[in-house]
Structure 1
């Protein structure tokens, strides 16, 4: 007689054996002896099976498979003890090695019938620090950052990640709605599908998931999984993300202030409607005529001219290959306009000068004069396509990251000749429709972080000065909005509000009310500007740094962070160090002391510096 099959799960075997013990122990009289003999035969069979099977007891991890969570289906809960994780779907197989033993949990959260928010939670088996970390996604999500999960797992965090619920709509990092790649090799490499797609058009609940709900629900469910696995809550909760992840971090601080104790965000694309609405204008800047496009080598030409004029006059040193404080540089690309017998690419045509002037100027409403987005900073010019700047965008068949405009207008947005499309999009005429649909679910523009601050929340922001995707001034503008909100005159003396607003907009922190607002903001939020760094990393400047330990020290010990040392590695690869520089708490900047190695952060001090973008290089020296 066969009582159990070896193909049954280990948990079934153990539960079956325990059940048999309970049944046999209920017997009496002669049946007891028969039962004991029978149990002996069964136990011997189980012992033989155990010799060739994994341990039969259900683990704290596998038990999570049946954990009941609101609107959530746990699809996987498994122990990984080999130290190796093979990235699902990778071909050839991509292995992440050197991992501690951990429990991997995957789940799908469906707060609405049209939602499918996929999350992963990785839980260290024996190396847990007691902290929980939520990770932010990039671009339009739709993927898992397994490398990020692994890196933070090794640091002892119980860590969670979500693809923001956009994978159901076929979104990729760069595209969530497009007219198709049209055979363009760069668009294909960036993940643009061959045929038109509508992204989240007609799916308002998925737009809400992408905007803020996915990260919030990931956080709630992950904390519950942590509690169930460890039988205790995390002592502290932190969040880290850049770009879209930075936007998600600000959403958490603004809308869900109880989710996290500390939030670290990079290049936070917080005013999404304004940024998305200007993507067609940036594309048209180089597509208005064939002569408006930049030729190979010309961005390097411009960058060299910028450095020749401004490097060393902005707190850095003349040999820097980046600007230390680009707002101290007033550069006009017209100085490179072709004269005499000069021809491109050794100089710029009049049309190319216009392209670059628009690049630095940003976007304003042509009717009202309202600034929609600031321009990009001098010193950000590069030939590197990975920076996602002019040299990449001008080679694409339609604007990069214009997907959300398809969410508003549908398929006609990709069809030139239609009423509103990427070739005729007008900021004054069309931005209101974009804001009417997308501002509420997508914009993280609130400067009221009172609830976050009062419960002890701490926020660190950072931004690369050479970012060609999120304008550096954009992040400064958000920090300044916090200072304005925190200023006494804004909160209690409305009569001075206009002056306070003007002072903060120009980074004038000398007035009593503005200075008081700055000090209050610095008590819970700090901004670091990173010289020479592209979008979330890379670039010629010191682009390797660590903020999480400083954030933890601030949250757990009450120690506000000061300057942080950033490193530039040779070829951006550790361990060979090319240079180090201090990243200063804004509005301070790093300034060379005049002695010591210019490659050593110790030779620089954080000082009050010039702040207005339109200052000349000689101002406020």
Structure 2
């Protein structure tokens, strides 16, 4: 069965532990009256009451979302340039509005509305909004926005790769701006106006929550439009966009360098078990954990799995496969000067689960899943092996600057100057899964450390006990990071991967109480209500340490403690933070 990519890339983690729409009544309602609302750059295309409790997410077949309160659904098209075509939706509770506005993000190249985020916000009482980022008009979906076509590859077809070559946003610089920063900002501005017109008063507070591309949107808002939101939740942020996509190319080339470099089915699980055998529990976690609490303490070398005697893959690794995994951990490297372009993958994120969008997924595709971004620069030739620059021969010394010169200023949310955001009282809460196989976990640490560096001594330059780190303390007055042991990209994984990060953000903004811990839950088979374990998520740089007695499945038996200073692989300054 074809998997809908909307649910695979960047779903926000557990904000709270053509559609089934009621027919328009004959008389106008406060909702239907919004159809005539006039806003800059905006055409409201529908405003409809939904009192059925159900919404059918467009698709084949449509997917029902149930348990919804009565709401006003507004759809609109934003046209800030002659080539823009940004779709947004605003869902407005018709009763029980909590007085807050919630902007939500999506994943990958988006290209469609993420209805699950709208529904989560609506159920919690928010006036919620979401956008396709303006890429839907170019035929994009979360995984593909430029492609040489699925080439008959069953997995590519299953995950929505179009059959024929496409170039995504090539030749559309205004749509690239929309994707990079403009769509979310205008969604926010106009979404607030729509809510104001509906309720007759402005929202008391505004929040944004997103993961992956939604995390990039979150940081871009804090950097470029600091007054849009009072509180911002940024998960696994794809903020270093151009270099992150280069890492995808690098990983695909790594496993396709020769037939022997390919990692076979089941071998990622084999490697993960070897990692756990060597490193589990050494980082403060329990010896029974199936994940690492802080994988930076792990020095696993895949050479220990090298085939010897009569051993054969997949029960062991060939020398070529050892090379593949060493490069996997080492990061994206300029082959000429050795500079790090993007950090490597952390030990403990190895998985054969294709839905995790890691190496096991990427290597089985005819071309890298997220290489659409490079079609925006090089055009259709990027998909042809005979061309000078394509997905199979991309030059990580010469071609990097070509991409950055065209895209970095628009797509990369790498500024660490959040003084304006902090100045108006804004709060930033970041999180990232330690077992993320798609976006290197330490990318978020690198961004947070750079914020600390702006305040004085960086996290790596001073300890946290015996006087502490004043720069860290100043940063934590407005920005905090929580690393999630054993969580994949935005969700899933063997660790405690379900948690409410939005409520602590609301409390921080509205009561001035900064979060020290967040309770995370691992459900049996990742399906509520049966609980497998709970664990505290600790404000970085603290880690959860087992107290030594009691069940390791109960959060109360762990304490957040000061961690030793660990090494973070950082990009070269020109590619950072």
Report the TM-score, using the length of structure 2 for normalisation. 0.92
1:83: which partner in 2?
53
Match of 2:34 in 1: 64
**1:282 aligned to 2:251?**
yes
Q: Quick check: 1:584 aligned with 2:526?
A: no
Q: Secondary structure at the match of 1:104?
A: strand
Please tell me whether residue 428 in structure 1 is matched to residue 397 in structure 2.
yes
Distance 1:54 1:338, change over 3 A: closer
Structure 2 residue aligned with 1:385: 354
Give the corresponding residue for 2:144: 175
Query: Post-superposition shift, 1:512?
Result: 10
SS at match of 1:427: coil
Indicate conservation of the 8 Å contact 1:328/1:610, yes or no.
no
C-alpha separation in 2, matches of 1:431 and 1:611: 32
Q: SS of the counterpart of 1:552?
A: helix
Q: How does 1:466-477 map to 2 (within 5 A)?
A: 466-477=435-446
Q: Is the 8 A contact 2:446 2:568 kept in 1?
A: no
Residue 111 of structure 1 corresponds to which residue in structure 2?
A: 80
Aligned to 2:311: 342
Which of 281, 285, 293 is matched with 1:316 structurally?
285
1:189 paired to 2:143:
no
**Shift in CA distance, 114/55, structure 1 to aligned 2, threshold 3 Å:** closer
Give the Cα–Cα distance (whole angstroms) in 2 for the partners of residues 387 and 329 of structure 1: 22
Cα drift, residue 612 of structure 1: 2.2
Of the three residues 526, 531, 538, the one matched with 2:485 is 531
Q: Deviations over 1:47-82 (max 9, x none)?
A: xxxxxx986432111110000000100000011112
Match of 2:508 in 1: 554
Select 1:398's aligned residue among 358, 367, 379.
367
Which residue among 203, 206, 211 is the counterpart of 1:234? 203
- Tell me the equivalent position of 2:575: none
Q: SS of 1:114's equivalent?
A: coil
Give the Cα–Cα distance (whole angstroms) in 1 for the partners of residues 496 and 394 of structure 2. Answer: 38
* 1:420-450 deviation line (CA, Å, top 9, x unaligned): 1111111110100100000111010000000
Contact 1:67 1:74 in 2 (8 A): yes
Deviations 1:383-420 (A, max 9, x none): 11111111111110011201110000001111112111
Which residue of the partner structure matches residue 378 of structure 2?
Answer: 409
CA gap 1:293/1:222 in 2 versus in 1, 3 angstroms: same
Matched, 1:97 2:66: yes
Task: Indicate if the aligned counterparts of 1:176 and 1:404 stay in contact, CA closer than 8 A.
Answer: yes
Aligned CA distance change for structure 1 residues 380 and 60 (closer, same or farther; 3 Å): same
Question: Of the two, which has the highest radius of gyration?
Answer: 1
Q: How far apart are the structure 2 equivalents of 1:473 and 1:614? A: 7
Query: Is the 8 Å Cα contact of residues 359 and 375 (structure 1) preserved in structure 2?
Result: yes
Unaligned 5+ segments in structure 2 are 1-22, 570-577
* Residue 389 to residue 456, structure 1, CA distance change in 2 (3 Å): same
2:15 maps to which residue?
Answer: none
Residues 329 and 613 of structure 1 are in contact (CA less than 8 Å); yes or no, is this contact kept in structure 2?
no
What are the superposed Cα offsets for residues 348-393 of structure 1, whole Å, 9 maximum, x if unpaired? 1000000000011102223333211111111111111111111111
Aligned to 1:604: 558
Quote how far apart the aligned CAs of 1:603 are.
0.4
Q: Does residue 462 of structure 1 match 2:431?
A: yes
Distance 1:331 1:508 in 2: 27
Partner of 2:498, secondary structure, is coil
How far did 1:608 drift? 1.1
Paired residue secondary structure (1:160):
strand
Partner of 1:619: none
Q: Distance in 1 between matches of 2:24 and 2:491?
A: 44
Tell me which residue corresponds to 2:189.
Answer: 220
Decide whether the 8 Å contact of 2:486 with 2:495 is kept in 1.
yes
Higher relative contact order (CA 8 A, sep 6+): 2
Q: Give the match for residue 204 of structure 1.
A: 173
The structural deviation recorded for 1:514 is: 8.8
Secondary structure of 1:317's aligned partner: coil
On the 8 A contact 1:545/1:564 being kept in 2, the answer is yes
Q: How many residues align?
A: 547
**Gaps in structure 1 of 5+ consecutive residues:** 1-52, 488-499, 616-621
1:595 aligns with 2:549: yes
Give the aligned partner of residue 13 of structure 1.
Answer: none
CA distance in 1 between partners of 2:189 and 2:532 (Å): 42
> Which of 155, 158, 166 is the aligned partner of 2:135?
166
2:262 is matched with 293
Q: What displacement does 1:507 show?
A: 6.3
Write the distance in 2 (CA, Å) between the matches of 1:286 and 1:176.
23
Aligned equivalents of 1:511, 1:95: Cα separation in 2: 51
SS of 2:543's equivalent in the other structure is strand
Give the direction of change, closer, same or farther, for the CA distance of 1:123–1:336 in structure 2 (3 Å limit): same
Q: 1:563 aligned to 2:532? A: no
Taking the aligned partners of 1:192 and 1:403, their CA distance within structure 2 comes to: 11
- The 2-side partners of 1:54 and 1:203 are apart by 37
Contact 1:286 1:355 (8 Å CA) reproduced = yes
Q: Deviations over 1:513-553 (max 9, x none)?
A: 99221111100001000011100100000000001110000
Residues 333/57 of structure 1: CA separation in 2 closer, same or farther (3 Å cut): same
Q: 1:302 aligns with which of 265, 271, 278?
A: 271
Q: Report if aligned partners of 1:75, 1:106 keep a CA contact under 8 Å in 2.
A: yes
Judging changes above 3 Å, is the alpha-carbon distance between structure 1 residues 434 and 612 closer, same or farther for their aligned structure 2 residues?
Answer: same
Aligned-residue RMSD, C-alpha: 1.7
Tell me the distance in 2 between the aligned counterparts of 1:396 and 1:370: 28
Q: Tell me if structure 2 keeps the 8 A contact 1:468–1:534.
A: yes
Asked if 1 retains the 8 angstrom alpha-carbon contact of 2:464 and 2:562, the reply is no
Match of 1:5 in 2: none
Partners of 1:200 and 1:54 in 2: CA distance: 37
Whole-Å separation in 2 of the counterparts to 1:54 and 1:138: 32
